[in-house]
Amino acid sequence: MERTARAATTPTPEPLPAGDVAALLDGVPRQRGPAAAPAPRLPRPALLPRPWRLLPSPTGTPVTFAYTAILALTSLFASWASPGLLYAVYQDSSTDVAHLLRTPVFVLLASALWIAGGLLSPYALAFVLVLTALERRIGGARAILVFLAGHVLATLATEVPVGLAVLAGHLPDTSLHRLDYGISFGVAASIGALSGLLAPWVRWPLLALVGYSLVTDLIAFQDPMTNWGHLISLGIGTGLWPLVRRWRREWVQALALAGAVPVAP
């Protein structure tokens, strides 16, 4: 009875104003409802093919673009010049042993201004595609360094043995004046270097195809010195893989700092 009496005499609390009730409710943790479904993620737009990036441009690949323009002009000159004039120009630009002994720097640079076979040569198309792709990945100056490494080193690797063979009496003196010009050594080295920057499913078929073609030419034995030079320059390019891959990382970082988007590897 005491407990009942005390409970009966307990004063009833007065209702709180509406504003105070709202304030109290704000402090009460809300019940966890069903988990909200995550907002649907919009699909990323697919990268559209951009075939024009395979070709050089004055803004995207200025070095390859300028070099291609020079080769186009020299090829047009070769198609219109008289045979006598053209032979004289080729002879002055040739990296034969005699010219390498007299003016090595001049002929090594001048010989890379001509396309053996003209604009219809397979090496003309390979030059445009490969140098463009290489410049987009490592920059123009470094792409030209790769090209010149193959051009110069493969030339010396094929012409120095000719000079030594002449000195030893195994070849006639006329071998010292053999015509040797063109961009094919540089192109082969660029193909070898570029393959190291491509995905494996592209790299190995490319090397297999190019290597098979070069070995087939060597077996035909129509121009063994040039054919050996092509294989040597391809090997030079593949030997540059560690260097061009480091250049690739540095080029991507430079483009990122400049706010540009690099080409996909």
Query: CB-side exposure of 4: number of CA atoms within 13 Å?
Result: 1
Query: How far apart are the C-alpha atoms of 22 and 229, rounded to whole Å?
Result: 89
**At what angle are helices 122-138 and 184-195 packed, to 10 degrees?**
40
Burial class (CB in 10 A: 0-12, 13-18, 19+), 20: exposed
Tokens found for residue 113? 């201004």
Query: CA-based angle 128:130:133, to the nearest 5?
Result: 105
Query: CA-based angle 187:192:195, to the nearest 5?
Result: 120
Query: How far apart are the C-alpha atoms of 132 and 123, rounded to whole Å?
Result: 14
**pLDDT tens-place values along the chain, 265 residues long:** 344 444 445 455 555 454 454 444 444 445 444 544 454 454 444 444 567 678 899 999 999 999 999 999 999 999 999 999 999 999 999 999 999 999 999 999 999 999 998 888 899 999 999 999 999 999 999 999 999 999 999 999 999 999 999 999 999 999 999 999 999 999 999 999 999 999 999 999 999 999 999 999 999 988 899 999 999 999 999 999 999 999 999 998 888 887 765 555 4
- Amino acid letter, 142: R
Is residue 215 within 8 A of residue 239, CB to CB? The reply is no
Measured CA to CA in angstroms, residue 250 lies from 87, 148, 190, 253, 265 at distances of 44, 21, 19, 5, 13
- Straight-line distance from the first to the last Cα atom of the chain, in angstroms, rounded to the nearest whole number: 90
Measured CA to CA in angstroms, residue 162 lies from 43, 108, 175 at distances of 62, 17, 7
